[in-house]
Chains A and B, each alone.
Chain A
Amino acid sequence: MSDVLITIDGKQYTATEGEYVLGVARRNDIFIPALCYVTNCSPTLACRLCLVDIDGKRAYSCNARAKEGMNVITKTEEIEKERRAIMEIYDINHPLECGVCDQSGECELQNYTLHMGVDSQHHCIADTHRPTKQWGKIHYDASLCIVCERCVTVCKDMIGESALKTVPRGGAELDKTWKDKTEKDAYAMWNKLQKSIIGIASGAETLDCTQCGECTAVCPVGALVGSDFQYTSNAWELKKIPAANPHSSDCSLLYYDVKHTSTSNPEPKIYRVNSDHNYAPLHAAARYGFDFQNEVTCKDETAFARVVELLQTNVDTIVFDSYITNEEALILQKLKEKFGFKLVNEDAKAYQNFLKHFASTAGSNLYSGDLKSVSESNFVVSFGTAIKTDSPNAGYAMNNAIGMNKGAGLYFHPVADPIVSAYSKNLLSITHKIGAEEAIAYLLLDLFGDKETMPKSVVDYLTSFHTIEKKTIQESVKEDIKEMVKDEESGEEKEVVKTITKMVDKEIEVDTNALIELIGAEADLVEKITKLLDKKDSFSLIAGEDLFNHPRAENIAKLLGLIERFTAFKLLIIPSRTNTLGVSLICDLDDAKGNFSLGYNVKGDFTLSALGKGDLDMPALNQQEGTFTSMNKRVVPTNAALPFKGYCLNDIANAVGLEAEWTIDYTPYLPSEKGFKAEKFDHLPNRFENDGTENRGYALELQTFTCKDEVEPISSFTCKEGDVVYRANPVHQFSAFTNKAHQLSEAGALYASTAFLEAKSLHDGAVVTVENEAGAKLVIAVKEEKMIDGLIAYLPTFDTKIDTAPFFKEGYRFAHVVIKGVEHV
């Protein structure tokens, strides 16, 4: 796509050819009113407010594409009249309940009504009773809905679920006499508005989607709001505290909306989480899992003194997880340097090793892609991750890419996922054998690698999988034959050409790729992929947590390195926890624990806990300022929404001899040799620019080095007979922190598909025992999970009451177990 020059209101701007005019205007800070358009989604032309004049003709800037020399005028008298009329139509029968409405103060209907100067109403039509709906965490008030269809659009184009659609309103028919009395576009909009409201696509009573809540974020009016927030506070009373998603590694920008708890309690409370929906979506856990703070009333001096003493005497190991900030990770590293503690963090260690091996063949310490490159590509492959629950935002980017860029994609996973499969008909879901990821990596190299430049040994190895056989098939060919036909009337003979279809035998070469069988996919996989690849030119590959502790992790990482170097794929290797990437870069991690461990959010001989379950309380991530390293390879700031009255890690570090007034004093000292910059915390920006640039913190600098190309062949991986469980959390859950939030709190279970329940003749709520050969045993309820398919059930990690760790001793996410139903007495 080339750059073109277009004129907007007399000034010239450069644009990419084919870009929407509205986008160009916004990028250059030119205001064009628009109600229905959601950035990065398809235009619906519901509101018609974005009407502009392009080369003398009326056009809608949200779907007009930039062309060389185009002349755009955003405001003429005629356009302004039209826009005013549109707003007047929107105001017909709109309930006068701004006084109680949750959107009041940030309502786009209010804003545009005032902006267009609507001070009187000339239209009327009989109103229809439109009852409100309670859809789980979401409340829909149809009488407030202006049918802009943003919710429908975002759900389809961004989230990928198409859970909403417009349904008939059953309202009064629009009298034709209005046609002459109303502006053209306003009338057309009215006509449409009068016919529909929003309903659930599947026809179910309540929303049967993942309840991400993005539809409530995009709704310009108060029609879709969070049920929990409804009527608890006026928007303008809430103080917005910019932060980063603390639950998963997308670390998306979010705002904690904070206000005093009640008239009698001045302590701050988080009322809801908000986002800049035009730039990045939020998943359900980020949106609803905000009140996981650790409340303490005072500093526990005895416990503090005990830690300090232990650190100076017994402690030889610190065990921790990756739900910490970069600064805390640096404090731990400094403690290690000073006292020689071992630092143990299993998850970050696995990721660190994986990246190390990846770097050895990729020639760069980090992968090249990010969420943006995924959503800008048009061929997305995901493997080694249950994307819907591991990293919903990566899933959204994938869906967005396939939907908006006429793209296609592949989703490899042993657990079939109906939600992901439904992203698009151009997404091929491949339910493969457990452990086949190594073969998949080779397959990707084989299909997409540049054989000219790839190491010869690899090319030879790949060739060894191919067997070319000659096969005879019957093919239909079309043949033209000439025939003489006699015209009956005139008696003349004429020559007529006829086409007939004949079957002929043909010998063809069939290339069988043995990798396909290793993966366990259908034989026509390559053929299907080739079809999907038509007209695709930018590629991204998402890889995830299944790989980090895979028995063949090292080799898979090296293969990914080769894919990065020798294919057109941009890689995104999703860090498994919020700050896994940060910890793996900052800390020098050890494998084994010593004799006495201090646990930080992990059980140790003495435990520091932000969950409030340890020996000394620590602040939770919504009570801390600091930075995270996101999967976009960015160091992004987060702020404290709530105060913490106890001690934090920095206090402990100071007591044993480190010196820093605040935790964030460490921000400029994050290791520069790993790509961090010497930037002070207070100088870090945290916002999106008008053109959608993520101006948050800074991007890590990538290091390049010369690489080795040693990879191993596929090692045979046999799967034992019997039941397999997968380690994963249900949608909404990531860790014990999400489960602490009042809107998300639930009891863990063994999550099994309907097919699994049928095969085992179990039912939802039945109790089973899960056992493995090593003697681990768990008695657990089964929960029917409609969002997976197939015979692999999954065990969660978010519920601290259920210890699932013994089943996954080696860290690999698939484990062999025996599942038996428990008879009720």
Chain B
Amino acid sequence: MELKDFKQRNISPGYIFFEGEKAPETGWQAFQKVVKRTLKGELFVGLWIVFREMIRFDIHTIQYPAQKMEMSPRYRAIHRLLRLFESGSERCIGCGLCEKICISNCIRMDTHIDEKSRKVVSEYSINFGRCIFCGYCAEVCPELAIVHGVEYENASEQRAHFGLKADMLTPLDTFRANEQKEFPGFGALSDNADEAVKQTPLAY
């Protein structure tokens, strides 16, 4: 796709254009419209639908909080920091791309060198007072380390809750119990990722 394709605003056929109701022009027309709307009984159309669904006992609402909704993997809620499946080590390498891309500038991290000469992320925080849950961080992350969770119950009496590394990182016991789920949402590899990779020759 080239730039001009993006700029192309002509809508393809198949769209139905809705011009809308004509606005009344004279006082008489306006009066007619009011009378028509008042006496047509549109209110009862709605009421009838509700009543019909009620007596069918085929209810679509879920019984929250007893029942909870299963969110789509693409739902973007409070973030999680994942661990590597093989070793349980933290995935985040501290590359800082999420910090850079974050549109609300709400990610911060502290990194330093450890005894094994590796870069470690000693603290990682997202200010959820500012996060707009755009998902850019998850998308840019080269390690699939920062991802969105699916929990939507985020009430708390402290602003800083949920936003520290300890809150977001998969706890070790959850991890050991094999309960860390891979993230299929924003930024995850596509199913045909292998096909898209160019092979590099190897000397071994």
The chain A residues found within 8 Å of chain B, CB to CB, are 98-100, 104, 119-127, 132, 172, 230-234, 236-237, 260, 262-264
Whether B100 and A232, one on each chain, are in contact in the complex, defined by CB atoms closer than 8 angstroms, is no
Indicate whether B71 reaches chain A with its CB closer than 8 angstroms: no
Tell me the complex Cα distance, A234–B117, Å. Answer: 17
* Contact with A236, one of B96, B110, B112, B201 (Cβ below 8 angstroms): B96
B residues near A172, Cβ cutoff 8 Å: 203
The 7 A-B residue pairs with the shortest CB-CB distance in the complex, in nearest-first order: A99-B95, A234-B96, A231-B119, A100-B119, A124-B201, A231-B113, A124-B203
Interface residue total, chain B, C-beta cutoff 8 A: 28
* Contact with A124, one of B125, B143, B200 (Cβ below 8 angstroms): B200
Whether B201 and A231, one on each chain, are in contact in the complex, defined by CB atoms closer than 8 angstroms, is no
| Chain B 47-76 residues near chain A, CB threshold 8 A | none
Tell me the complex Cα distance, A98–B100, Å. Answer: 15
A residues near B198, Cβ cutoff 8 Å: 119-120
Chain B residue with minimal CB distance to A261? B110
Taking the closest CB of chain B, its distance from the CB of A768, in whole angstroms, is: 39
A residues near B111, Cβ cutoff 8 Å: 231-233
| Chain B 109-133 residues near chain A, CB threshold 8 A | 109-113, 117-120, 123-125
Whether B203 and A234, one on each chain, are in contact in the complex, defined by CB atoms closer than 8 angstroms, is no
Indicate whether B94 reaches chain A with its CB closer than 8 angstroms: yes
A residues near B202, Cβ cutoff 8 Å: 124
Whether B203 and A126, one on each chain, are in contact in the complex, defined by CB atoms closer than 8 angstroms, is yes
Tell me the complex Cα distance, A696–B111, Å. Answer: 35
Whether B204 and A126, one on each chain, are in contact in the complex, defined by CB atoms closer than 8 angstroms, is yes
Tell me the complex Cα distance, A264–B164, Å. Answer: 10
Whether B201 and A123, one on each chain, are in contact in the complex, defined by CB atoms closer than 8 angstroms, is yes
Chain A residue with minimal CB distance to B201? A124
B residues near A100, Cβ cutoff 8 Å: 93-95, 118-119
Given A99-B93, A121-B201, A124-B202, CB of A231 within 8 Å of CB of B123: no
Taking the closest CB of chain A, its distance from the CB of B162, in whole angstroms, is: 14
| Chain B 157-204 residues near chain A, CB threshold 8 A | 198, 200-204
Whether A122 and B110, one on each chain, are in contact in the complex, defined by CB atoms closer than 8 angstroms, is no
Indicate whether B139 reaches chain A with its CB closer than 8 angstroms: no
Tell me the complex Cα distance, A99–B124, Å. Answer: 16
Interchain Cβ contacts under 8 Å between A and B, 11 examples: A99-B97, A100-B118, A120-B198, A124-B200, A124-B201, A230-B113, A231-B113, A231-B120, A232-B111, A233-B111, A234-B100
B residues near A231, Cβ cutoff 8 Å: 94, 111-113, 119-120
Whether B110 and A234, one on each chain, are in contact in the complex, defined by CB atoms closer than 8 angstroms, is no
Whether A263 and B200, one on each chain, are in contact in the complex, defined by CB atoms closer than 8 angstroms, is no
B residues near A126, Cβ cutoff 8 Å: 203-204
Chain B residue with minimal CB distance to A127? B203
Whether B124 and A132, one on each chain, are in contact in the complex, defined by CB atoms closer than 8 angstroms, is no
Tell me the complex Cα distance, A262–B95, Å. Answer: 16
Tell me the complex Cα distance, A122–B202, Å. Answer: 9
B residues near A233, Cβ cutoff 8 Å: 111
A residues near B125, Cβ cutoff 8 Å: 263
Taking the closest CB of chain B, its distance from the CB of A781, in whole angstroms, is: 32
Whether B123 and A125, one on each chain, are in contact in the complex, defined by CB atoms closer than 8 angstroms, is no
* Contact with B100, one of A119, A127, A236 (Cβ below 8 angstroms): A236
Tell me the complex Cα distance, A741–B132, Å. Answer: 40
Most central of A172, A232, A260 by chain B CB within 10 Å: A232
Taking the closest CB of chain B, its distance from the CB of A169, in whole angstroms, is: 15
Tell me the complex Cα distance, A567–B198, Å. Answer: 68
Tell me the complex Cα distance, A132–B125, Å. Answer: 31
Taking the closest CB of chain B, its distance from the CB of A814, in whole angstroms, is: 45
* Contact with B109, one of A120, A125, A263 (Cβ below 8 angstroms): A263
Whether A99 and B203, one on each chain, are in contact in the complex, defined by CB atoms closer than 8 angstroms, is no
B residues near A236, Cβ cutoff 8 Å: 96, 100
Tell me the complex Cα distance, A441–B43, Å. Answer: 108
B residues near A125, Cβ cutoff 8 Å: 203
Starting from the known contacts A230-B113, A262-B123, 11 additional A-B residue pairs (CB-CB under 8 Å) come to: A99-B143, A100-B94, A120-B198, A124-B200, A126-B203, A234-B100, A236-B100, A237-B96, A237-B100, A260-B108, A262-B110
Chain B residue with minimal CB distance to A126? B203
Given A100-B93, A132-B117, A263-B124, CB of A234 within 8 Å of CB of B108: no
Tell me the complex Cα distance, A234–B94, Å. Answer: 9
A residues near B204, Cβ cutoff 8 Å: 126
Taking the closest CB of chain A, its distance from the CB of B106, in whole angstroms, is: 11
Chain A residue with minimal CB distance to B117? A132
Tell me the complex Cα distance, A233–B97, Å. Answer: 12
Chain A residue with minimal CB distance to B97? A99
Given A132-B117, A263-B110, CB of A234 within 8 Å of CB of B99: yes
Tell me the complex Cα distance, A725–B195, Å. Answer: 74
B residues near A124, Cβ cutoff 8 Å: 200-203
B residues near A260, Cβ cutoff 8 Å: 108
B residues near A120, Cβ cutoff 8 Å: 198, 200
Chain A residue with minimal CB distance to B126? A263
